[in-house]
Every structure is written in structure tokens, then in C-alpha cells.
Amino acid sequence: MNKSSPAPSQLWIALPFFIFGFLHLAAALVWLVLEPTLLTGAFYRPAVIAFSHVIGLGFLMSLVAGSSYQLLPVAFENPLFNRTMARIHLGLHFAGVPTMVYGFVQWQMPVVAVGGTAVLIGFGLYIANVTITALRPLRRTPTTVGVLVSLVALGAALSVAIWILSAKLGFVRVHDPLTLLGAHTYLIVIGFFLLFLASVSYTLLPMFLLVPLPSTRRAMGSVQYLAFGIALFIPGQLIAPALLPLAALSACLGLGLYAVENIAAIRRSPRRLDGALRLYAANLGFLLPIMLGLIIRALQLAGHVPTFALNLDTLVFSLAVFGTLSCAILGMGAKIVPFLVWQHRYAPQLGRALVPKLADLVHPRLLNTLAWTVPISALALAFGVTTKADLIVRLGALLFCASVVAFQFNLFRALSHLWRSAAKPFPPIAPRTALKL
């Protein structure tokens, strides 16, 4: 497989996922501007559950799926197992997510079940496709091992979701639905999204920084600590709360090693960070409060400290989603999408025409601005959640929404090269004049 030439069919699978995801992020932020109590009010209500699925399924999972189909075959050094399965997943995801969100808003569990079935089948195809791709043959790298463990966490989170929905439909009885909801949320956010982010960064960040991975041992250690934390978290959340502090400590060690490895790679880079990479690097600043929140919440659930912050789950969710994950995804997205467009549109014309540089496909000043506005927006949202101040949440969401609109404008500029080439023919070579004796 040629690493420098992405398959066009996979590109046209990845881009719809990206666009679908960014549109859902914009929709979620507009919704948050109109209804800031989604973060400051009670979390176990239809609107909040619908909002979390717009963020989790519509935004985050769409971006993860799109990048998986395009970039993981490169990271695994194996071709994608089956593109048809990926296309079917795309269709099921596009149909299932809006149906689920509508069902949650109206609190109609049969509608949720219809949309959830489509999403679940799509996830099943995704897990099978990525797993088989990784195993043909298996190359034991931090990226490969971390992605496979994150898929196990995704499978566990989906199983818990099926359990919750079955209880809502009256098929099974659940003693404490909030415990299951917490297990589902933490498995998705920590077990899947954050572990997936850390694992993929060990391939993408060195590639964009033009440096080797500083320490494969440290990167693998971060994956192993996160995996151990996830393995302890499942029984700890469901039947043995005494395991939760150890699970949180292990997960925090994994996140800490991820931060150290990223910082080491950035410090070794011979090039200055552009706006996209500075936006990505901002995700590291949110890890410390996330780790503190995880440990405190685990101690609360285990009964070691009093529950002095009832909205701690929402705070950790906000820091993880709007802070770490959004900064990382938007930063890498600002690098990946132009790179894929350039490879598809201009790589075949190298040596045949004058083609634009990769940096010409984006607005550098706009990305430099986003490197500041997105983290500030996330901090404002976290502060609004902590103080339960609707006005601060609304202002943070407005700034975040403006940032996403600017990001989509930058994305559209890059995508416009797919239908409007900027390549120019080489200037004609002037004929040589005969020398006079």
C-alpha cells in the first residue's frame, strides 16, 4: 500500500463523515446557546440525553469513523478490509443518528430503538472492518494496540446502551438506571474517544511534526494503563465501587503519559507549530482537570469523600468533549482534510503542472485565531458548568459556535479544490538563440 496516495473511494467515504460531524457540532452549539441549561441543569432528562448523542454520535463518532477508514489503514500498514462495509456504515449512521436524537427529544423509546438498531449495525460493521484490517497481519504498535482496546471499550459501551434501552422498553429490569448511564458515558468518553485519540496521535503527530515517536515504550505504557483502567472500571461501576479509585488512577497515569509523549514530540520538532498544531496541542492543557475530576468522582462513588459537587460528571464531560477532544479533533482535522484533498487533487499532477502548496489550501491566520478561541470557549463552558451560570455557558457556546463556523469556512476552502483546480501549466520554455561567431 502506498502511504502517500489515499484511495479515492476511501476519501469519498471519509469526507461525508467529516462534514456530517462538523455540522452536528455546529447544531449542538446553537442548541446550547438557546438552552444553556443543557449543561447547568439536571442531566437525566430527554433534552440532555438527546444533546449528548448529538455530540457523541453526530460529532465525535462521525469524525472518528471518517478518520478510521482513511487513516488507520496507513497506520496499520494494511489495506482497508472492505470498503462496501464502510459505505453501508455511512448510510446507517446518517439515517440512525437523527432518528435516535428525535426519539430522545420526544422520549419515544420505539423511535430510539429503530434509530439505535441502524447505528448499532453500523458500529458492528465498523468494529469488524477496523479489527480485521488491523489483524492482516497484526503489527504490535501503540496505535494498533490502543485502537483495538478502544474498540473493546466501544463494544462494552454499546452493550450497556442496549441494556438501558431494553429496560426502557420493559424487556428487563434495572435496579439503578443512573449507574448504567454513567457506565455508558464513561466507557464512551474515556474508554473509546480518549484512548482512540491517544493511540492515533502516536502515528499522526510524528508525521506532521516530521519527527520519530520519542518513546515507543512510554506510548505503549499509556495505552496499557488506560486499558487497565477501563478493565477495572466496568466491574467497579456496576458491582464493585471499591475498584473505581484504582481504575481512575490507572486511567490518569495513561493520560499523563500521553501528555508527556506529545510534549516530547513537540519539543523535538524542527519546525514551528502552525495554527492547526497549536490548536491540537491545546488539548493537553485540559487533561489535568479531567484527571482530577476522574479521581474525585471515583472517590465519591466509592464512598471515600462526600459528594460536594453534584455536577462533577457534567464538568468532566464538558472538559473532555469541548476541551481535549474538540481541540484535538479540530486541530488534526485542519491538517488531515487539506492533506487528503491535496493528495487526491494535486499529487497525481506533480511534475506535470504547477500545483499549490499544502499551506495554500487553508487560511493560516484563521487557524492561528482558532488556536486561541476554541480553548477559551471550552474554558468558559467549564467555568459556566462549575458555577451553574447560564449566561457564561451561553457566551462560551456563542464563541465556540463562531469558531466552528470559521473552521467550516476554512474547511470549505480546502474542499473547493476538489471541483476547482488551482494547478497551472508550466510556462513555455524560451527557445535557445544561436550563438554568433
pLDDT of residue 170: 83
pLDDT of residue 173: 81
Q: What's domain 1-138's architecture?
A: Up-down Bundle (1.20)
pLDDT of residue 312: 87
- The one-letter amino acid code at 281 reads A
pLDDT of residue 27: 94
User: Which parts of the chain have pLDDT scores under 70?
Assistant: 1-9, 307-310, 430-437
345 with 415: CB under 8 angstroms? no
pLDDT of residue 330: 94
pTM equals 0.91
pLDDT of residue 175: 74
Tell me the Ramachandran region of residue 354: left when phi exceeds 0, alpha when psi lies from -120 to 50, beta otherwise: beta
Give the contacts of 207 (CB within 8 A, at least 6 positions apart). Answer: none
pLDDT of residue 6: 44
